[in-house]
Chain A
Amino acid sequence: MAEQDGAADAVLDEPAPRRSGTGRAVALARLLHQECGHLLQLYRERESFLDDHTPEGGRIVSLSPDTLGDDPGVEERVGLLHAALRQCLGLLHCLTLREVEEEMGELEGEYEAMRKNVRSRLEHLLLSTRVLLPQPGEAEVTPDNPCTEEVDGEMGSFALKMWTYRVLLELLHWADHASLTLHVIHTQSQETEEV
């Protein structure tokens, strides 16, 4: 992870004209992945009963079944990734709202600071992936979630904790997926340029 950080920082430190869009996106994705892991760890430390627990159920954010083609192209992969990340941002947005509402105010601990950090990084990544899309102007970067879940009934603090935990796991999963996908795309684009 340290090596990834170093490589990500090295790419980000390159002058803009030299650094490609995909290269920057890869670096951002790797940073996001690291920070999501840290955020998850902080949450586990706070909610000790979650230690090493893997929640049941599948992904919260899933790709549309129509898009599960055999060999999606680069643009399609970037588009799917962008959509998933946008849903993640929506989940994180709702998570923040619920936690602030639960605490009746913003706490200032390490977990809250890292949560802000992750949100900021995710927003930057969305901007980077949007640039890679064929029609960037049409891509949204705002949170994709009206936060209307659990309108009926009380979610309860415990259920909120479990949901928060699942959201953090989701963020970690998609940050990892983004770094892998963008790395492949970046490598292919560099090979294409050399040719």
Chain B
Amino acid sequence: MRCGPQNLKVSPIYSEQKVALMWEDNTFCLLIQDEFAYDVDVLSTDDMTAIDHGVVVVPRDRTGSIHYWRWASPLPLECAHNTFRVRGRYKDQLGISAPSEPQVFPKDRVVEVGSNVTFCCIVPPGVTFQQMTVSSYSNRKTITTQINSQTYAMTVHLHKPSPASGTDVTCNGAEYGACVYAGYPPRDTDLQCETRDLESVECHWRTERKTNSLANRRTLYKLLGRICWSASNRTANKYRCVHNVSIQAQERNWTLTAQNVLGTLELTDRADLTKRVHMFAPQELTSSRIHARNASLVWQWSTSQYNKLNIRCQISLRSNIHTDVKNYSGVGLNHALLQGLTPNLNYAVQVNCGTEEHFWKWSDSKYATFQTAGDIPDALDVWLWRMEDNQTIILWKTPQPSQSHGRILDYEVTWSLPSAGQQETNNSTVVVFPPGNSAAAELDPSREHVVMVTARNSHGRSLPASMVVLRRAPGEVTNVSRIVGRGGGFNLSWPAHPDSSCGYMVAWTPTFTRGTGDWKKVPPGVTHAFITENLTPGVRYSVCVYTCIGGAPQLLERREGYVEETMIPAKQITGLRWEHVGSDVRVSWTAIPPENRTAFVQGYIMYYRRLGAKDAGLNPVHLNVTTDDPEASSLTARGVHVGSYSFAVAALTSVGEGGGNAITLTVNPPSYKSIMAIAVSFSNVLILLLLTTIVAYKNWTCIKQKVYPPVPKPVLHCDWLTLMEDHGHSILNTRESHSSQKENVDVPQVFCNRVAASTEADREGAPFLPNLGANGYYQQQQQQPQRKAMETTTKADVSQSALLSFPPPPPSVFENLLYTAGMPEQNT
């Protein structure tokens, strides 16, 4: 008999002191085409004696179904352990009994966190106890105690709350076990009650999720004694309960009771709910009667109770240019008129309402959108820039959507000469199409002009924006003062002008860049402005303030400055050069061009240090000199010793030192130059002398002939000779001692030996050597070239007159004493 039960489950019902059994037929039972039965035995676990017995008959048509059997225990189930045995029986044949599975007790106990709970596992006969485990406590060591042959116990300290599905206690694997729930008594807080429709109370409170994790043992809430069936809002731990109740204008207690198996908690909120009206959101919010600059909003209320309520509604208007909030009030308020709107703009509306008196909370929001109707564009913001070539650029700011009120089709620019008394004025008109926003005009600077600009969209043309261009005054000079930027802009203020009828204008443009700039119009009565648009750090701007008199701007003041000074880029200081003056070194430079300056120069600083000082074991001194003259172009370092130096020059500005550049130089000893000069000069002289000597030596004969030709020998009579012997000898002695002439011939020899002297004179190259004899006059006249003189002498009769007619020696260094000593003065 193999037919028998499978999947036998034994379930105790403690409250009824009963045990319910459930099992299924195994597959062998399905083969039985006849009625069969199950024998159920209740045994005492201790000694396995039968306590009770039952039979479950399975009709043929119930084969394959699940079978049940209940047993009423004479004792409380906790008092005794019982074993249940189920066996199939067919035609008096008993089959095997399905072993009862291990049982774990207690089942589904609810305890407070921190409790110690003892679990027992009862294993059926023949089954060996292996282990008991508690989920999420597996890391904790537990001690299992054997109670009897089939029963084992384990105590667990449940120190943490159980998850929503409980803490599982298993025995001999995951198939058999029990659940236990560790949680807390109710710990709800923050009860607050209000009314939404003046016909019911709505209370909110906060709960701890841990408490409510007790499945089937969850907290039961009662408000005013009535159960809150759908109290939870599990996403936020905030619970609410609503009951219909008559709302009276008086204070009373609103009581909430929270109860679970571990305890009960009571919360109370005392309030007059007529002062706590939390309105519903307006319904059916729609916009109507929409115009260019106003529109109407209407809505409905979901409860008639609001019709008697003094309501305040806050309407938020949002567009892509601004957000505005308007408040409206009234009894049963259900409409609002929106004014001051911008044409052709999309608006998003948000409406929130509350009670005007005893305001409690804003209602939920209601939203709507609408678009205002279009209109002609607003008048343009126009400005003029006079360029250097008498051309005037007429500029206007491209209107924003809040100003254009539709797509701009074109701009019309007109300039004319307003001449009173003349019927015709010289008009010029030009049409500019978007995205253009400027027009150029040749305006005679000596005459006054009126410029008008209009914009056109599909709804028409805007009012004209006009400006009077005064004639330019010759020699107009304006003092320029400095302005410093702050907070990303220029903060300007100026004295009020008594004649300023149409306000002021502030215009700014880069100082060193040709072109137009930006402007801002200031209304009358206002004498300050803070400009921030189109200002770039490091760029110098010229900022001009104009007063508007009769539509014509007149310059009040002009300033220049940087919205933000930045560091001047390196190496803007150029042309560094230096000179050594005594023990000082003066370094000069070329100033930074104003257009390259990104900050005001307040002075200069020069650093210098000795190079290689460390290697030489010297102190590398770092020194500097400064000047607070922004126009300075040189600085002098004093007491600079011999050596190599690095000099660096930088401009001082409010943001630091910038534009720096450097040079390296070497300071030499002061005598060095002189010595060098002298040496060079001496060398040059020596070289010159050497060259001259060489040339003179080589060309001595020619030079002698040129410079000092030989003196011809005089023709002497014997009488003269006798005279000489008497007187001339001593004279010759006197003169010869001073003579340095080279041709000091012996007179008697000359006369007598003139031919020989001539021969001697042919020798060229004979050195020029003054040769004084012992008696003081030359002895060796043969050595001296006397050719010319001798030749002259031989050609003519020598007479006294001829002697006297010899040409006098050329005035030269070489004095010819022959002609000068004792000779009567001759007039040649």
Q: Which A residues form the contact surface with B (CB < 8 A)?
A: 46-50, 53, 55-58, 62, 65, 101-105, 107-108, 149-150, 152-159, 161-162
Contact = CB atoms under 8 A, between A and B. Distances in A.
B20 A157 contact: no
Given A49-B174, A55-B175, A154-B13, A161 B68 contact: no
Contacts of A156: 11, 107-108, 178-179
21 contacts: A47-B168, A49-B174, A57-B7, A57-B24, A58-B7, A65-B64, A103-B164, A103-B218, A104-B218, A105-B230, A149-B66, A152-B11, A152-B22, A152-B70, A154-B13, A155-B11, A156-B108, A156-B179, A157-B108, A158-B179, A159-B9
Contacts of A102: 215-216
B6 A58 contact: yes
State the majority secondary structure of interface residues on A: loop
B346 interface: no
Nearest to A148: B66
B177 interface: yes
Given A103-B215, A158-B166, 12 more contacts: A48-B135, A56-B7, A102-B215, A102-B216, A103-B164, A104-B216, A150-B22, A153-B11, A153-B12, A154-B13, A157-B179, A158-B107
Contacts of B235: 108
A56 B11 contact: no
B168 A49 contact: yes
Nearest to A47: B165
Interface string B153-175: 00000000001111011100111
Given A49-B170, A152-B70, A156-B178, A161 B165 contact: yes
B484 to A, nearest CB: 63
Contacts of B22: 150, 152-153
Residue from B104, B177, B178 with most neighbouring chain A CB atoms (10 Å): B177
Interface string B98-114: 00000010011000000
Contacts of A105: 230, 232
B213 to A, nearest CB: 10
Contacts of B178: 156-158
B133 interface: yes
A68 to B, nearest CB: 10
* Closest 7 pairs between A and B when the two form their complex, measured CB to CB: A153-B20, A157-B179, A153-B11, A53-B174, A57-B7, A152-B20, A156-B107
B18 interface: yes
Given A153-B13, A153-B70, A162 B175 contact: yes
A154 B230 CA distance: 26
Contact of A58 (B27, B104, B166): B27
Contacts of A103: 164, 215-216, 218
Interface in B15-64: 18-20, 22, 24, 27, 30, 64
B165 A46 contact: yes
A96 to B, nearest CB: 15
Contacts of A62: 64
Contacts of B614: none
A40 to B, nearest CB: 15
B135 A49 contact: yes
Interface residues of B, number: 43
Given A104-B218, A156-B108, A159-B11, A57 B18 contact: no
Given A108-B235, A153-B18, A158 B177 contact: yes
B289 interface: no
Nearest to B66: A149
Contact of B234 (A108, A149, A158): A108
Contacts of A157: 107-108, 165-166, 178-179, 215-216
Residue from A46, A47, A154 with most neighbouring chain B CB atoms (10 Å): A154
Interface string B210-252: 0000011010000000000010101100000000000000000
A48 B167 CA distance: 10
Given A53-B174, A158-B178, A48 B215 contact: no
A161 B168 contact: yes
B264 interface: no
Nearest to B217: A104
B177 A49 contact: yes
B116 interface: no
Given A48-B135, A57-B6, A65 B30 contact: yes
Contacts of B165: 46-47, 157, 161
Contacts of B820: none
Interface in B127-183: 133, 135-136, 163-166, 168-170, 173-175, 177-179
B180 to A, nearest CB: 9
Contacts of B12: 153-154
A53 to B, nearest CB: 4
A49 B133 contact: yes
Given A48-B135, A49-B135, A156-B178, A104 B215 contact: yes
A28 B166 CA distance: 35
Contacts of B30: 65
A58 B64 CA distance: 12
A178 to B, nearest CB: 22
A48 to B, nearest CB: 6
B212 to A, nearest CB: 9
Given A152-B70, A156-B107, A50 B164 contact: no
Interface string B504-519: 0000000000000000
Nearest to B14: A154
B179 A107 contact: no
Contacts of A155: 11
Contacts of B175: 53, 55-56, 162
A104 B22 CA distance: 26
A152 B18 CA distance: 10
A104 B234 CA distance: 12
A46 B216 CA distance: 18
Given A53-B174, A150-B22, A153-B70, A158 B7 contact: no
A61 to B, nearest CB: 12
A104 B549 CA distance: 83
Contacts of B234: 107-108
Contacts of A53: 173-175
A73 B610 CA distance: 108
Interface in B750-800: none
Nearest to B8: A57
Nearest to B230: A105
B60 to A, nearest CB: 13
Contacts of B66: 149
A190 B480 CA distance: 95
B179 A161 contact: yes
Contacts of A58: 6-7, 27
A19 B2 CA distance: 50
A178 B165 CA distance: 32
A166 to B, nearest CB: 9
Contacts of B169: 158
Contact of A48 (B7, B108, B136, B218): B136
A152 B178 CA distance: 18
Nearest to A46: B165
A50 B7 contact: no
A65 B26 CA distance: 13
Nearest to A108: B234
A43 B107 CA distance: 21
A158 B168 contact: yes
Contacts of A108: 234-235
B177 A107 contact: no
Contacts of B230: 105
Interface in B72-113: 104, 107-108
A145 B33 CA distance: 25
Interface string B699-714: 0000000000000000
B11 A154 contact: yes
A50 B168 CA distance: 10
Nearest to A149: B66
A107 B216 CA distance: 13
Contacts of A162: 175
A71 B234 CA distance: 54
